[in-house]
Amino acid sequence: MIVKANKDACIGSGQCVLLCSAVFAQDEDTGIVEIKQVNPPDELREAVIYAVSQCPTQALTTVE
């Protein structure tokens, strides 16, 4: 799975970081999402999918 972020759509709510900090982070200055692991390990799959689903602006996606 590949994780992608549309930084233009991100509002910096931080839900992704709260739900899966192993994969998502926020820029210290802007609060915009940063992807720490573009291709996370399988053991994080469920957490990543849940975090992506909770993004209020749908700025996050996954590709198989």
> How confident is the model over 1-60, as pLDDT tens digits?
999 999 999 999 999 999 999 999 999 999 999 999 999 999 999 999 999 999 999 999
pLDDT of amino acid 1: 97
Predicted structure pTM score: 0.95
pLDDT of amino acid 20: 98
Total domains in the fold of the chain: 1
Structure token pair of residue 29: 């200055």
pLDDT of amino acid 17: 98
Range of the domain at 58: 2-63
Beta carbons within 8 Å of 21's beta carbon, 6+ residues apart: none
CATH code for the domain of 8: 3.30.70.20
pLDDT of amino acid 56: 97
**Distance from C-alpha of 16 to C-alpha of 62, rounded to nearest angstrom:** 13
